[in-house]
């Protein structure tokens, strides 16, 4: 599905606050609430929008430590094997296969450095992992949903 500028603005508005009413969105993009609903339904049906969710602030629930862990895997480890091995970790917020020396990179949230160390040890013990390399996040500089910059476009 190819998105037009109005679809992008609708996604940006919903990305900022998924509870925004169709009437409010319509006012921002120049459509009636029913037209916005039809567009949102189409975006969901096409798979462009996978769902609506809440965003939990990690610090508010006591998960104040964040790190990126590079995974170096044994030869011929498939992305499926990595995904299945990491799926049960509540601390992992994202994981991707990557180019370069590492095979994958994992974003982790933890309560503190002790908890982070435990997670790194558990991940390192996965049968497909040869070694890990960790980078601790000091501060977040930019964090925004996809298409966030399009919300104010005319």
Per-domain residue ranges of the chain: 5-54, 58-136
Residues of the chain with pLDDT under 70: 145-154
pLDDT at 154: 42
Tokens of 131: 């070694």
Q: pTM value?
A: 0.74
- CA-closest candidate to residue 123, choices 137, 153, 103, 145: 103
Equal fold, 5-54 vs 58-136: no
Tokens 């499926």 appear where?
A: 80
* 29-53: pLDDT as tens digits: 999 999 999 999 999 999 999 988 8
**What 8-state DSSP symbol labels residue 18?**
T
Tokens 């037009």 appear where?
A: 4
Range 5-54 classified under CATH 2.60.40.3880: no
Tokens of 92: 């992992």
> Domain 58-136 is in which class?
alpha beta
30 CB-contact burial (10 Å; exposed 0-12 / middle 13-18 / buried 19+): exposed
3-state SS, residue 107: strand
């Amino acid at each position: 599905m190819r998105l037009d500028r109005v679809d992008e603005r609708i996604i940006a508005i919903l990305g900022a606050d998924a509870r925004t009413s169709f009437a409010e969105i319509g006012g921002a993009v120049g459509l009636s609430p029913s037209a916005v609903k039809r567009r949102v339904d189409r975006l969901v049906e096409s798979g462009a929008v996978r769902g609506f969710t809440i965003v939990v602030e990690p610090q508010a629930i006591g998960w104040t430590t964040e790190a990126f862990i590079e995974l170096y895997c044994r030869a011929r480890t498939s992305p499926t094997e990595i995904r299945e091995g990491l799926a049960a970790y509540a601390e992992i917020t994202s994981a991707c296969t990557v180019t370069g020396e590492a095979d994958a990179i994992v974003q982790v949230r933890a309560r503190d450095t002790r908890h982070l160390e435990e997670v790194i040890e558990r991940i390192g013990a996965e049968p497909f992992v040869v070694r890990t390399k960790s980078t601790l996040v000091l501060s977040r500089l930019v964090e925004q949903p996809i298409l966030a910059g399009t919300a104010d476009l005319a």
